[in-house]
Structure 1
Amino acid sequence: MSAVCQVTGSGPGFGKQVSHSGMRTSRRWGVNVQSRRYWVPSMGRWVRLTVSAKGIKTIDKQGIDAVVARLAARGERF
């Protein structure tokens, strides 16, 4: 499972970790992505999406039908 949200498109952030001595080493900040199943009434089936916490809130606000229609228009598989 890749760490990219299918709804918002947000991925991991990259940067440097700075120690007390000032040494800089690379690190990455992961996205809170989860694999969720949603029932889509218009399609009559379950859809499994990899969504972040913000993506879940977007689905709650706009509705799963609108989000799935936008994903299908983009050509993404779900």
Structure 2
Amino acid sequence: DERVTYIKMDVEGAEMEALKGGKEQIKRNKPKLFIAAYHHDADIFLLPLFMWQLVPEYKVYLRKHPYVPAWELNFFAVV
């Protein structure tokens, strides 16, 4: 019954499935999202589109973190 305020996920390529599994919580609570964006090429397009379908008010940012190897990309979504 507690409100979800933040979701962080790096689930090795299952980010879309995880977002779909949590869609009711995301739509209801509009938590901040921190989602890995680098596992599949299409994720860079499909994940933010899906986040906007759930919560059109989300502002979605793509962040690259200084990390080796250099492909650590993540989406950060906030209302």
TM-score (norm 1): 0.29
More helix by share: 2
More strand by share: 1
Structure having the higher Rg: 1
